[in-house]
Structure 1
Amino acid sequence: MLIERGLRVMNVDTIGKSYDIAANYLRRTGAIPDGTSTHDPLLELIVRLFQRGETHPIRLANKAISNFESAKIAA
């Protein structure tokens, strides 16, 4: 499904799959808390990476995980 947001078109399915993969991994490692609510910083990171051109769900999730963990280490 495509949703138009201004001039950008986002593939909700790709972003959703990527978020599910990344969130599942990060919850299992304890990097984000367990719960049913969406972890907004992770979702925002995935959307930014998607907007930069990464459209493959697994690569998108892997980049998001890497960036998320790097930001946590630097913090």
Structure 2
Amino acid sequence: MLQKIKLVLLLTILAALVVFALLNRAPTDLDFLFVKTSLSTTLLVFLTAACGFLAGSLTTGLWLHKRAKKKSEKEE
């Protein structure tokens, strides 16, 4: 039962992403530092989200590493 719920949720999210991608195909000019290019709005949003996810993951990983290190030093 839980697997069916997960599958329905996954398919719903996937369908929403496909609709988003199809509705945002218009080119957008990107002028970042020394790079000037034209990308689709969908690609720009996904790249921005991926960078944010990566930054959040790295920050959380560093925080967890420091926390574990402090805990192990405390136990010694």
Q: Do the two structures share a fold, i.e. TM-score over 0.5?
A: no
Structure with greater strand percent = 2
Higher relative contact order (CA 8 A, sep 6+): 1
Q: TM-score, normalised by structure 1?
A: 0.31
Larger Rg, first or second structure (1 or 2): 2
